Structure 1
Amino acid sequence: MAPVKKEKAATIAGVKRKREVTADGKTKSRSKSRTKSSDDAADPQETILHLEAQIVESRRHYNNIATLLQLARQHDTHNEKAVLASVSLCRVFSRLLAAGDMVKSKGMPEAEVVIVQWLKERYREYLDLLLDQYLRSEAPATQSVALTLLMRLVKEESKGQKEYNWKHGHLSRLVEILLHLPGEGGVTDEFAEKYFKPYDDIRFYTFQCIADVLDDDEPETSRQQVSSNSLSLLMSLDQVPKTADDIQNFFTEPAAQAKSPIPSLSAYKKRAQEAWLATLRGGFNKEQRKTILAGFSHQIAPWFQQPEMLMDFLTDSYDMGGGTSLLALSGLYYLMTEKNLDYPSFYIKLYSLLDDGLLHSKHRSRFFRLLDTFMSSTHLPAALVASFIKRLSRLALNAPPAGIVVVVPWIYNMFKRHPACTFMMHREICDPDLKEKLEEEGMDDPFDMDEPDPMFTGAMESSLWEIETLQSHYHPSVSTLAGIISEQFTKRSYNLEDFLDHSYNALLESELHRELKKDPVIEFEIPKHILTAEDSGLNNLGRLMTQVLEAQ
């Protein structure tokens, strides 16, 4: 056995040492051929460009398309050739589409039909490669290349056509894959910025795809991912077309005599409405819901031809409480004022948000901005306005200084806007007997803090003793500001924005650094006795301490 092994080894060695014979009879080592092949590998771009040039030069080299496809499939190995080959194939198929070499015509010879069919099959393979492998890749750069190439082919497919074939074109598959991609941002945001936002036709087709995908029966986890990506796309739109003249920026390039890719403004908005409704039914987390509600009035509702269809979403959002409820009421207010929606319980729901935690909340500034908008009408009933004034006055008793300095100017503005409520500040008692009785015995506050309907709280029969109490507040800014209720109403309404962003630290800093016009008068005397009086016996504190000790 040993000699046989040695002979085989020698044979193999001989094969390794074998030299090639050239045409002139000289020998050439294979190591040089390997060097040449390594040089070719070192410059893949030149090789790919050579294959592409041959395809363009003659139809005899169409088989180079299959070679380029084979190179493009190697993208998982991070091979530079794969990306270069995919870009080269895009140029090749763009030329073929532009020249009409991939379209069968009447009277075409059978041989030509076979070639066209073969090119179509290779084109489908190329699209499948970009959609199923490149676009789904974990590498953002590969995804970006795939998106750019696919959208260029969409443009090439549409050239000279009467209408882009949305149902059978690859744009619908592209959007569907983008909606299913995990994570946030990345290639989905790139699609939104480069194609979805600028071009009306891409937006129109994408609306349809969103509705179709979300209407399909999918697992809950997949549906949530699609809804999240759909929301990201839809919220990227910051403008809504108002007239047909606003729809004129198209990505596809149909024939000159072809009709517009978008039939009409109403059809455009109908597609958007269907996409939004499908997205809203998909389910969101709390932060996503707040994002939707924050952009409701200018990004969502203008797309709807029937905005009352959003009522269920807004009422469900209100039931979540906190800042979400406030944003939901903002959406309802928009529908009431802009779309003539009838919602009689709006102010009852708004009144219910005035709870103990309101003036301590981080959403306090946002709440008062919206509250000032909701209460801006001078046609609101005086009893309703009085209830809001009284309830906020009561809440101010336990509020931090930063919250009180917002409440007092807001109340002042409400009195300026609704003079009928000024009886809460100063009401003269004409009956002398009743006046004497009130001075001797006082009275119970008729305001019912537990009444949910602001029309029946009895606030109009009450007074703002809470604000007068705040005139003795420990913080000088609060006590000074509360004093405006006792003065004549000759000042103009306050600008509420000047008070919304105050904090306790800001108030303290402004007080510490305030320039004094004159030094304050200070009177301080060190007591000589704590529990006893000057002459003899116990003082008030001493007698109180004695009572405590005896009680024990």
Structure 2
Amino acid sequence: MTSAKGKRSTGNSAKEEIKNEICNLEEIEKIRKSIEESPKNYNKLVRLLKNLHTLISLLNDANLGEVDSDFMSIARSLIYSLYRIFSHLISKRLLKVFKGISEQEETVRKWLISKYESFQKELFDLWSIQFFTASIATLKIDVLENLMKLVQDEGKYLGPSVDEAYFPTLRYRKILQNLLVSGDEKSINEEDGYTDDYLLLEFKETYFEKYWDLKFYFFSELPHIEEELRESGKGHRMVFSKLVALTKSAPVYDLKNKEEITEMPVWVENAPQNTMYSVNTFRNNFERTWIGALNLQNLSKKEYSSALAILHKRIIPFFGDAQKLMDFLTASYTLGVNTKDGLLAILALNGLWELMKSYNLEYPNFYTNLYAILTPELLHLKEKSRFFRLLDLFMSSTHLPASIVASFIKRLARLCLTAPPSSIICVIPFIYNLIRKHGHSTCMLLIHSTTTTEEDAEYEDPFDENETDPSKTEALGSSIWELETMINHYHPNVSALVKIFTQHFTKYSYNMEDFLDWSYAKLIDAEMKKRFKGDLGVEFEKWNGMFGDEGYMSDYLY
């Protein structure tokens, strides 16, 4: 049979030619029943599979244009009928070769198994179709449903014996492998590294999050898939982004109530409970999965950031040995600093902070590395709100030495000299909160410094902005004169806000959430909507022209 792709001409004539070759709905149903009734009709499987191959080739051929509803109905009927046929064969245990059967029976069973594999390959080919239509999307979801039902059937009938616990791991692995690599890499959001693939969403909501055995064996089989990806070098970006998407939505289980996993429903009733309800085994598989994912080649910085963003809540708590992430986090921080990607660096430090806080990891250079992130580029990032939330967390310890706190205050004040107003508005309340929170009397000298007098001919700031160690910058001997200059800032919001430092420190700490999401657009919008009381004083001079004898500029040009 000639495939729909290749020699056929395009257009209606090609469609009519294909329509004449394939079975109609009544014929499909008739063939299905005949195969289920007698082994003599097994050969009719070949015709159905060829029809399915032709239709999938047609769906994958963009030159043939939009596929009409008749073709879609036939494709859906073919897939469902073939599913029912193989489900029937599985229930009769005809897709398994046992000892003691005759040579002829063994030949027949191996042939049926090969057709079963061909059927699933055709379904995976359908998943690989790149272009999107609503009908194709629905068909792909139908394929997922049929494949998952076959996993259920195999678990029930194809084990070593009917009563013995069994989960079809190899079948499930093939489904996962094709599910995770399906789709177009262009669907990966370049902003955050996530993918919003509808097929993955269906898998997540209908299967992954509802059935514990499917979740357990997902993390059990994924390391094998990752190993194949490393060897082939293909599809790793899709797998990584989909793994992040599956992990980020919710914890894989309730850490406070681990025993509740035994109450979750299972998809395969015959799945081995002793294995899948072992929390330690699950944690080891989860750890292997994520370490393997983080070692995939050619991941972009955005993809690293997408994993780092969920590391502290969704990954580290479920690791058997979280300190295995130390090298990855250190390398991510170095990459962020070397490429001047402040967000990547701060997210890496957030992971290290979680290891220090929850696992007693020693990382003596934490605040030195955090200090190194405070560069002029940082306050120009659109992700600055996330940065300040994390920085507020890192600076929350009341045991920080005054010299380190003063260095961070001084560095942030210095950055305000070249920062946009929307960032300065974040820095001013942040510095105010730092001084209040730590309550160091020495830090107050940054506001009321007495190291110089008005009679001094020239003031030299002792702060060493080139020093990388925040404990050695001599910031305590300096002052935040940079913020005093902000009193004369051109933007009225900045000028008004910074005056808090000229008043007594009796005000409560600021709620930083009120300042983190400001932008140029929001500042301008606030000014445009501001209501003024009374008349505004303005100066206006009427000009008769821009240039010439009567123009204002002529006095300067001639």
TM-score (norm 2): 0.75
Contact kept in structure 1, 2:182 and 2:238, CA below 8 Å: no
Shift of 1:199: 2.7
Equivalent position of 2:266 in the other structure: 250
Amino acid at match of 1:225: G
Matches within 5 A, 1:88-237: 88-100=81-93, 110=102, 114-115=104-105, 118-131=108-121, 133-137=122-126, 138-139=128-129, 140=136, 143-159=140-156, 160-164=162-166, 166=168, 169-181=170-182, 183-184=184-185, 185=197, 187-188=199-200, 190-216=202-228, 218=230, 222-237=232-247
**Are 1:417 and 2:407 counterparts?**
no
Give the drift of 1:382. Answer: 1.1
Residue in 2 that maps onto 1:501: 517
Counterpart of 1:268 in structure 2 is 282
Q: Is the 8 A contact 2:412 2:427 kept in 1?
A: yes
1:432-466: per-residue Cα shift (whole Å, max 9, x none)? xxx8x763445422211111111111111222222
Q: Which residue of 1 aligns with 2:403?
A: 383
Is the 8 Å Cα contact of residues 86 and 116 (structure 2) preserved in structure 1?
no
Q: Distance in 2 between matches of 1:49 and 1:525?
A: 89
389 and 91 in structure 1: CA distance in 2 versus 1, 3 angstrom threshold? same
Contact 2:173–2:222 at 8 Å: present in 1 too? no
The amino acid that maps onto 1:415 is I
Match of 1:458 in 2: 474
What's the offset of the Cα at 1:282?
Answer: 0.7
* Residues 1:291 and 2:306 are matched in the alignment: yes
- Cα distance in 1 for partners of 2:163, 2:36 equals 24
Distance 1:294 1:341 in 2: 20
Residues 382 and 224 of structure 1: CA distance in aligned 2, closer, same or farther (over 3 Å): farther
Contact 1:208 1:271 in 2 (8 A): yes
Distance 2:511 2:292 in 1: 42
* C-alpha separation in 2, matches of 1:179 and 1:505: 39
TM-score (norm 1): 0.76
For 1:77 and 1:400, the matched residues in 2 are separated by: 56
Answer yes or no: is the 8 Å Cα contact 1:198–1:249 preserved in 2.
Answer: yes
Matched residue, 2:80: 87
Give the direction of change, closer, same or farther, for the CA distance of 1:175–1:428 in structure 2 (3 Å limit).
Answer: closer
**Compared with structure 1, are the counterparts of its residues 358 and 64 closer, same or farther at alpha carbon in structure 2 (3 Å cutoff)?**
closer
- State the secondary structure of the residue aligned to 1:380: coil
> How many residues get paired?
475
* Structure label with greater radius of gyration: 1
In 1, Cα distance between the equivalents of 2:229 and 2:243?
A: 21
Q: Residues 383 and 455 of structure 1 are in contact (CA less than 8 Å); yes or no, is this contact kept in structure 2?
A: yes
1:375 Cα deviation (Å)? 0.8
Alpha-carbon displacement from aligned partner over 1:69-114 (angstroms, at most 9, x marks no partner): 4544443356665653442232123233334455677887x5xx74
**Distance across 1 between alignment mates of 2:218 and 2:357:** 31
Aligned-partner residue type, residue 216 of structure 2: F
CA distance in 2: counterparts of 1:371 and 1:245, whole angstroms: 36
In the superposition, relative to structure 1, how do residues 107 and 525 fare at CA in structure 2: closer, same or farther (>3 Å)?
A: closer
Of 40-49 and 295-304, deviating more is: 40-49
Query: For 2:116, what is the secondary structure of its paired residue?
Result: helix
**1:345 shift after superposition:** 0.9
2:252 to 226, 240, 246: 240
Q: Distance in 1 between matches of 2:246 and 2:497?
A: 44
Q: Percent identity?
A: 35
Match of 1:30 in 2: none
In 2, distance between residues paired with 1:362 and 1:463? 29
Q: Flag the 1:353–1:292 CA change in 2: closer, same or farther, 3 A.
A: same
Q: CA RMSD in A?
A: 3.5
Match 1:52 to one of 1, 20, 32: 32
Verify the 8 A CA contact 2:425 2:497 in the aligned structure 1: yes
The 1:252/1:230 distance shift into structure 2, 3 A limit, reads farther
Following the alignment from structure 1 to structure 2, what is the Cα–Cα distance between the partners of residues 81 and 515? 66
**Take 1:330 and 1:214, find their aligned partners in 2: how far apart are those partners?**
26
- SS of the equivalent of 1:135 reads helix
CA displacement 1:404-430 (0-9 Å, x = unmatched): 22211111111111121212222568x
Contact 1:189 1:233 in 2 (8 A): no
Matches within 5 A, 1:471-510: 471-510=487-526
Q: 1:264 to 1:427 in 2, by over 3 A?
A: same
Question: In 1, Cα distance between the equivalents of 2:112 and 2:541?
Answer: 101
Q: Check 1:519–1:416 CA distance in 2 against 1; reply closer, same or farther (3 A cut).
A: farther
Aligned partner of residue 136 in structure 1, secondary structure: helix
* Distance (Å, rounded) in 2 between the aligned partners of 1:331 and 1:104: 50
With over 3 angstroms needed to count, the CA separation of the structure-2 counterparts of 1:391 and 1:94, relative to structure 1, is same
- Give the 3-state SS of the residue equivalent to 2:464 in structure 1: coil
Q: CA deviation at 1:201?
A: 2.0
1:467 aligns with 2:460: no
2:368 matched residue in structure 1: 348
Q: Relative to 1, partners in 2 of residues 1:277 and 1:53: Cα closer, same or farther, differing over 3 Å?
A: same
- CA distance in 2 between partners of 1:127 and 1:214 (Å): 22
Q: Which runs of 5+ in 2 are unaligned?
A: 1-18, 60-70, 130-135, 157-161, 186-196, 543-555
Match of 1:13 in 2: none
- C-alpha displacement of 1:240: 2.1
Give me the whole-angstrom Cα distance separating, in 2, the residues matched to 1:208 and 1:116. Answer: 32
Q: Give the drift of 1:281.
A: 0.7
Provide the C-alpha distance between the structure 1 equivalents of 2:124 and 2:116, rounded to a whole number of angstroms: 12
* Residues 252-306 of structure 1: per-residue CA shift (max 9 Å, x gap): 1217xx5445150110111111111111111311221121111212222223111
The separation in 1 between residues aligned to 2:234 and 2:99, in whole angstroms, is 49
In 1: Cα distance, 2:22 partner to 2:333 partner:
64
Q: Is the 8 A contact 1:471 1:483 kept in 2?
A: yes
Secondary structure of the structure 2 residue equivalent to 1:164: coil
Equivalence map 1:441-452=2 (5 Å): 441=457, 443-452=459-468
Whole-Å separation in 2 of the counterparts to 1:40 and 1:512: 68
Q: Which residue of 1 aligns with 2:189?
A: none
Question: Are residues 1:394 and 2:408 paired?
Answer: no
Is the CA contact 1:130–1:146 (under 8 Å) kept in the aligned structure 2? Answer: no
